[in-house]
Structure 1
Amino acid sequence: MRSTAASSAGPLLALLHLASSGAWAQITPQQVYQPPPASRGAVSQQSNLTNGVNPQYADLLGNALWFYDAQRSGALPADNRVSWRNSSCENDGSLNNTDLSGGFYDAGDYIKATYPFCWTLTSLAWSALSFGSAYERSSQDAYLDSTLRWGLDWLSKAHSDADTLWVLVGNPSTDDQYWGGDQDIPGPRPSYSITRQNPGTDAFASCAAAFAASAYLYGERGASLPTSTGGAQLGGVASIHNRTYSEALLRHAEGLWDLAVNSSPKQVYNTAAPTAGQSYPSSDYEDDLAFAGLWMALAKADASYANQGLVFYPNGTNAFASVNSALNWDRKVAALPVLATQLAQHNASFGLQMSRFQNDAESYFDRLTSGKMQYVSQTKGGLYWWAGDSDAASLNPALNAAFIADLYSGFATTSAKNSAYRSLADSQVDYLLGDNNYNGPFIVGQHPNSPQNPHSAMAAGGNDITNINTSPPQELHVLYGAVPGGPDKQDRFFDIRDDWPQTEIALDYNAPLIAAAVSRIARNVTKDPPFATLTGAANVASGRPTDAAYPARKKGGLSQGAQIAIAVVVIVVVFAAAGALSWWQRDRIRWYYRQKKIGL
């Protein structure tokens, strides 16, 4: 049944205006945070605690949030912290008579993609609900608030009326043909939508989840989710409480949930908007509906939403025994029993059987930690590797697994399981933070050994699309806090600017870094992160990568120079003939989903 708010455009549009107009003042930071020099990351801070927080972890969180400021689109505010960023793409949506300015650029180029962005927002809200006490202790609560609001206010614009959700701004094919700063981005830019008449069930549901999780976070001063069956609550950010804003977000959640469950046919959004799905093709919608139903139940304090969503939850005896998929913006199955367990502990009136979801979560984590999960292995350095997923961005699947293992470990049914899941989470985070063959943290600007060449058109400072590795030789701007794609299966990291599987940055890559930082702060981890005690230079791999950006060469045949020359000629012809292909594929094209589905 459609809600009153969803079926009437008037109240919704009024709320849209409020949400996008900056009607409610944000909290003011105690002092402006700017990333410190990378050299600070090479100094032990273990004995210099402030509010019980190791300054290295405070900087880690501060830098990770600063990265989102660097990715902002639209008219930048007066308190913009990123000196080299400019207002940009202020006319987004104009071709469709819609205001789609603002929001965040998705990755190393300039598209704005709704479906993966909703997962990013939900992840940020989820980690804040679980470990949010860290924000005030590290004086980053104002920056969490501004990051969430910048994203949620844009998402409110994207839900432009009761029946419409805009899912992409920019064209993935032509956008990659521009490599340069934020002042000369070609326009006007096209926008693509899904509607009640031409639906995208997964995108509607994913956006409902983002709004619902955020509405709950803002709605109550003590709003939090448990991270164990007992003990102190570590979550919630009391200082950002704003009931009026929460109510506006919740109305968007209700409207999008209505679209997800009541529009027909149920289908993935890239069926309705194929261009929008070029970079982020969705494989199904069932997990999005189950995920959104749980978040709606929490935000509305109404078990009926959970019951609706759980219709799409993996059912049957030992259903999770065959779930092998990594957790990411497309596949949320692994997160479902973890969130359901938290909700069962949080509110018994939801009627969720905790033991059922514990069994499902442990089926997943036990197979993962014991090395018995199909399609999953570990590198020699210990990084979990999902065949297909990790080839395109190795750190993200491992860090998302660490995120949900961290959330769940306190609910484990035995001490041995608790230890195994805790080890899973800590080992993957420590790998990110410097316990790796690269001998540096995979976080830009955090340490002298941090990656130097993130694949970012904004930060690079060049405009020669045919020579981005050396134009300019040194990246012009430091993209502090950015997490790159990560090393290959041999733990090698080449730090090459055009090697997008390894060096491109993205909004969703940073979300589990923030989750890891707030978890360690909230849990009073004061020991230095691994990068603080590293010695020696970064171990940048030599030679040539072998990945989608640098395909393996056949033995014999043409020399590399000849191959490059021929490739350039072919590219020029393709540009002239079709005008729709990029010089290189951007990192987000998930070709492997088109070839096979792994797991459920």
Structure 2
Amino acid sequence: MEDGNSRNPPVDLKGGFYDSGNNIKFSFPTAYTVTLLSWSVIEYHEKFDDINELDHVKDIIKWGTDYLLKASVRSNSTKEPVTLYSQVAKAKKCHSFESFLLLWTYVLNFVTFGFSQVGSTGNGTNPFTDLSCWEKPEDMSYPRPVFACDGTTAADLAGEVVAALSAASIVFRDEKDYSNELVQAAESLYVAATKKGQTTYTSVKACGGEASRVYNSSGFQDELVWGGTWLFFATGNTTFLEYAALNFSAAIKQQDPKEQGVFYWNNKVVATGILLTRLRFFRDLGFPFEIGFKAASDMTEAMICSYLSDKHFHKSPGGLIVLMPDGSPPIQYAATASFLTKLYSDYLELGLQSSVTCGKDGFSLQTMRSFSTSQVRYILGENPMKMSYLVGFGKKYPTHVHHRAASIPKDGKKYSCLEGEQWKVKKEPNPNTLFGAMVAGPDKSDKFSDDRTKPWFTEPTIASNAGLVAALIATHDPPGPNLGIDQERIFSSIHLTPPAP
């Protein structure tokens, strides 16, 4: 409740989302989460409404955008840069020797004063940080510093925040004042982000030096074309689309080769390709956008074919697509692949196309949808471990989730950092069930360890959960005879006449 007070002058950074099992707030994955949730609502709001979840998901989106508005501060002067707050709370872990000294200090305090005084060191300050302290969020006593960026140089963070505010403005179009506030903030930030001197937010130590340990950004061009595309949808201003279309090929080249075909918090290329292809299908604007549209369409078809064939990406023995074999557990990437494939199949059907073709390979809409559904079913329990990776769903799911609040009992007692360690290493299940959280999941061989001390298996993140929400709603049966997708809502601000054939 005091987040931001450590700044001089203080800023109001209450709100937002903690990430993973930690008590840290990162703006980069928060913005990605808001963008993806908003996109799923724009496309499938009819399905959300049918299961009485539309108001709920909109509340979650608004909680995120309210925070992002606070975290992207515009100056009254057009010459002053936009300030972006990238992180609240320190993430840096202590080095082993430092950890030993801290632990020894705590032990001495315990011997001298008992656990009641263990919350601080002898000089009255708490040396722990979020990643070195296992403590409930309501019991936090360590400092929560704020990390700030220049929106002109931190182009990737700025681009993602632009995407989030722009996409959410379409979700809240019926709330005109709020929607306009989101659009105005996005436009101001985008103008700053597309000036010269751009770099990634994690390459600037004071901005994202610590975030680089967990959310390191490998480039900024994908976020700028992603943000520009969403800002075009929000405003209808072709200046933003022109930037996105003309720089799309540059974004393809800048992406990490190991991430080609992967949609997640660090790579928006394939998702932007889907959006530009949507424009080409239903609002082809011709010159000067066609070159970018064609590149996007070609890449999208190749990506979908790579998901469905076994020539590029392999699948685990249980059928889970493995998009980054040397990366983290694959289910977060499988979830977004499921979403994009199902969404693209709906676009094809709306355009009266029955298949996707890449060279000699051809895949029907049914094949695309079967793939999407298979990935969701795997996540929900149809896998070799017979384990649902969605906490609280099914007969068997993870009970040792790597999450501070879930693992420490709600017993009216305050546990210090040192005391909290006992709950981290306990073999018993968590006393609190983290309903609805998708954990990191199994490895590429379908193996999974339900162990709180192994976060690479049991830690949930807001970004991966957003991907699951998108996949679940995309593969959910529509309420009526149609596809349950809104073809026109995303175009509601676009009042251009397509060129004559």
What residue in structure 1 maps to residue 387 of structure 2?
Answer: 440
What residue in structure 1 maps to residue 169 of structure 2?
Answer: 215
Once the two structures are superposed, what CA deviation does each residue of 1:528-565 show, in whole Å capped at 9, x if it has no partner? xxxxxxxxxxxxxxxxxxxxxxxxxxxxxxxxxxxxxx
- Rate the CA distance shift 1:246–1:522 in 2: closer, same or farther, 3 A: farther
CA displacement at 1:372 relative to structure 2: 2.2
Tell me, which stretches of 5 or more residues in structure 1 are unaligned? 1-89, 220-240, 527-600
What residue in structure 2 maps to residue 142 of structure 1?
Answer: 55
**In structure 2, C-alpha distance between the alignment counterparts of 1:121 and 1:171, rounded to whole Å:** 23
What residue in structure 2 maps to residue 314 of structure 1?
Answer: 249
Which among 65, 77, 88 is matched to residue 169 of structure 1? 88
**In structure 2, C-alpha distance between the alignment counterparts of 1:211 and 1:491, rounded to whole Å:** 37
What residue in structure 1 maps to residue 2 of structure 2?
Answer: 91
What residue in structure 2 maps to residue 104 of structure 1?
Answer: 17
- Rate the CA distance shift 1:442–1:465 in 2: closer, same or farther, 3 A: same
Map 1:247-396 → 2, pairs under 5 A: 247-262=180-195, 264-272=196-204, 273=207, 274-314=209-249, 324-349=260-285, 352-353=289-290, 356-373=295-312, 376-387=313-324, 391-396=327-332
| Residue identity in the other structure for 2:210 | T
- Rate the CA distance shift 1:252–1:287 in 2: closer, same or farther, 3 A: same
- Rate the CA distance shift 1:481–1:182 in 2: closer, same or farther, 3 A: same
- Rate the CA distance shift 1:196–1:131 in 2: closer, same or farther, 3 A: closer
**In structure 1, C-alpha distance between the alignment counterparts of 2:475 and 2:40, rounded to whole Å:** 12
Which among 509, 516, 527 is matched to residue 464 of structure 2? 509
What residue in structure 1 maps to residue 122 of structure 2?
Answer: none
- The TM-score with structure 1 as length reference comes to 0.64
2:124 counterpart of 1:188: no
- Rate the CA distance shift 1:94–1:317 in 2: closer, same or farther, 3 A: closer
What residue in structure 2 maps to residue 531 of structure 1?
Answer: none
The root-mean-square deviation of aligned C-alpha atoms, in Å, is: 2.5
SS in structure 2 opposite 1:410?
helix
| Residue identity in the other structure for 2:88 | V
CA displacement at 1:363 relative to structure 2: 1.0
- Rate the CA distance shift 1:129–1:328 in 2: closer, same or farther, 3 A: same
- Rate the CA distance shift 1:450–1:328 in 2: closer, same or farther, 3 A: same
**In structure 1, C-alpha distance between the alignment counterparts of 2:220 and 2:334, rounded to whole Å:** 23
What residue in structure 2 maps to residue 569 of structure 1?
Answer: none
What residue in structure 2 maps to residue 156 of structure 1?
Answer: 69
What residue in structure 2 maps to residue 461 of structure 1?
Answer: 408
- The TM-score with structure 2 as length reference comes to 0.77
**Structure 1 contact 298–343 (Cα < 8 Å) conserved:** no
What residue in structure 2 maps to residue 71 of structure 1?
Answer: none
| Residue identity in the other structure for 1:367 | S
SS in structure 2 opposite 1:168?
strand
**Structure 2 contact 39–167 (Cα < 8 Å) conserved:** yes
**Structure 1 contact 460–472 (Cα < 8 Å) conserved:** no
**Structure 2 contact 221–254 (Cα < 8 Å) conserved:** no
Once the two structures are superposed, what CA deviation does each residue of 1:154-185 show, in whole Å capped at 9, x if it has no partner? 11110123410101001111211111212211
**In structure 1, C-alpha distance between the alignment counterparts of 2:282 and 2:373, rounded to whole Å:** 25
Once the two structures are superposed, what CA deviation does each residue of 1:174-227 show, in whole Å capped at 9, x if it has no partner? 211111212211343101111146x211000110000001111211xxxxxxxx
Aligned length: 410
**Structure 1 contact 91–188 (Cα < 8 Å) conserved:** no
- Rate the CA distance shift 1:211–1:317 in 2: closer, same or farther, 3 A: closer
CA displacement at 1:355 relative to structure 2: 5.5
**In structure 2, C-alpha distance between the alignment counterparts of 1:201 and 1:480, rounded to whole Å:** 35
| Residue identity in the other structure for 2:135 | G
**In structure 2, C-alpha distance between the alignment counterparts of 1:417 and 1:429, rounded to whole Å:** 19
**Structure 2 contact 166–230 (Cα < 8 Å) conserved:** yes
- Rate the CA distance shift 1:350–1:193 in 2: closer, same or farther, 3 A: farther
What residue in structure 2 maps to residue 119 of structure 1?
Answer: 32
Sequence identity (%): 26
SS in structure 2 opposite 1:135?
helix
**In structure 2, C-alpha distance between the alignment counterparts of 1:207 and 1:520, rounded to whole Å:** 27
SS in structure 2 opposite 1:453?
coil
